[in-house]
Structure 1
Amino acid sequence: MSRYVAALPALSDQYARLTGLGLDLPPLHADLEGDLLVVHPRVVSAAGLAPLLWLDERPGFVVEDLTDLAEFGPAPGVEVPDAALYAVSAPGRGDEFANLSPNEVDPQIRAAGRDLMTVSEGICWALQVPEVIERNHCFMTTGSRKVGRRLGALDSRVPALWISNGAGRDGTERRGVPKVGWCWAGNRHTWLGIASVGGRSG
């Protein structure tokens, strides 16, 4: 898997893929430019997109202890276009950041002129290129954060996409299925990269 995955179909083909999955979307603007088509969460939430991540005839899911996923908005400094459909350029899974924490890596991503990927962007990417979620090579989406209980503080969790091992509350029937879970922003994971994008247009 290359650092930045560019093997994406045309935006019009991506649109057809999403509508083919049953999503009721507004028309695609012909002048929209970018590599990956993203559905704004106000049109379809991340939790609404997750079950479309089918693998081996089984749907993806959101872990049971992430019932507040809808409360995760753009992280500070992340600007998402105010458009029902928008595009991101050069999505990257961030394999090179495996075994580093979001707290360590997020400033590096921004210093390199890139931006943090949101959870909706990550799910839309996996809907178009399912192989971006593979066992032992998955990713966190630190572009989505929730405001914590203390004024100005962020919740310590960051959403992530990976393959379920079928343990605990996931249930054995979900082993090998893509899921949306979460990780601590200060923790390192050898099998989780930290995803980013080159830019956004709407």
Structure 2
Amino acid sequence: MNLGRTLVGAIVGAAIAIGIYLGIRVGMESQAIWFPIITGILVGLGVMKTDSAPPKTASYARGAIAGLIAAGAIYGSDVIAQEVMTSKAASAAQPAKAASAPAKNDTEEETTEAAAEEPVEEVVAQKRDSGTAQTGNIGAPKSLNKDSMWPFISMAGGIFLAYELARGTAPKTVVETTETPVPVDNDEEDA
């Protein structure tokens, strides 16, 4: 196992996967729970393609490194996507807040209503902290439903695929056997 090539291949595969995930997540504004499997495949293939010589034995260390980097890429891509979407929501809310700001010669009552509004930063922080930024329901608890296991299953599958693809397999060795002929006793057949 060449540690440098393994790391480079895994990091390149993870970077490609994170870029694709950000495009899907931010562009379509939906969560792709199946994408960790694609991340695992890209990390595993990145490690496979950087090894120039076919391995003589399966390298469990190479597989473990790829699995760890895939796990980091899966978690990190979701964190990065949440931050990008949060900053996108905050920047979209800033012009709306500026447009709704009262003029200087409005009555005192309208000024009090504007001051009672929550700042955008607090709303964004609440969304990020509550984990409901993708649904938009601030403070609404996430309930467990039948679909709650699918993200976990796809993450585990992605990490496993990265491990298996990067680990490689040992080439099969052919064992040649020479059989010695067994002498047949012809006397028993005649009797």
Shorter-chain TM-score: which interval?
under 0.3
TM-score scaled by length of structure 1: 0.19
Larger radius of gyration: 2
Kindly indicate which of the two structures has a greater share of residues assigned to strand.
Answer: 1
Kindly indicate which of the two structures has a greater share of residues assigned to helix.
Answer: 2
TM-score scaled by length of structure 2: 0.19
Greater relative contact order structure (CA < 8 Å, 6+ sep): 2
